[in-house]
Chain A
Amino acid sequence: MRAQRERRFRAVADEATPAIGAYIKRRIYPLSHADVDDLVEEVLIIAWRRLDDIPAGAEVPWLIGVARNVLRNAHRKYRRGEVTSSRLAAPHHDSSAEDNVIADEAVRGALESLSDDDRDIVLLHAWDGRSAEEIGVILGITANAAAVRLSRAQDRFRKNFAEVSVG
């Protein structure tokens, strides 16, 4: 029984880890591989614990959804520690990962103007190559709802892009 469970876990991990690693790396770039590895390992730990909950045929988007939550938790804990340790420090701009990555000013400006959720959806599609159906799995919503949200987020991105490009 355990051997069968381990075989499935390894199969799921083999399929999903490259996508999970890339997803995390894109969002904490340019931090070190060691940081990425820590977060990937955390996702795999959760995958092992909840292996029976992972939907067959949607393993990758489901685990990207896990990675998304792991990354959010990491940022929350990191920021909490920052506030505690430097409570008296002058406030500073907490740039997003995208700020540090994108050299295309217009693209960066348009992304910065989006809400966190919109930005997540746009980048899940553009960077991670996820379909609306997969985005639905990642976000825990229906495929139709994901398609609508993706379409609206893309519209807002294009609108922001046009404004940034003109301005």
Chain B
Amino acid sequence: MIAETLQDNAHIAALTSHLGEAVLDAADPFGEITISIAAEKIVDACRVLKSRGFNRISAVTAVDWQTREPRFEVIYHLHALPLSPQGGKHERLRLKAGVGSAFPEIDSATAVWAGADWYEREVFDMYGIVFRNHPNLTRILMPDNWEGYPLRKDFPIHGYKYSYAEEK
């Protein structure tokens, strides 16, 4: 469903003409344009938007909805940055892709923006979402031998390896 306020948005029109049904949803809460894309088409969506002036990726992150399915949402914050004072206007846009809990996998956006590299590694580190075709998908913040994915909602806030409750 594309929100009424976004019916004549040129970016969304370009996305729907390239991807058709893969554009699932579009809304602009608080004036921030948010577009849901089918996970298998996310890189195509990124390419379309990069060609439309979104020259940098501000951040990639994820949200764990735990009880919902698809359980994870991978979120891309894009930014069109004019490189000169006459170079057009600043725009921000949010892309979302749902990733299921059984095989949390999605294609990597590093081929579109090299800057997605560390952000995707962080999402992998924290949520265990695998980014296909990522050049170096290893843990970035946690130790290499860490078990589990800390930002998942079922990961406890403390007492992971050592529980005080079992202390005699």
- Asked if A and B bind, the verdict is no
Binding site for B on A (CB under 8 A): none
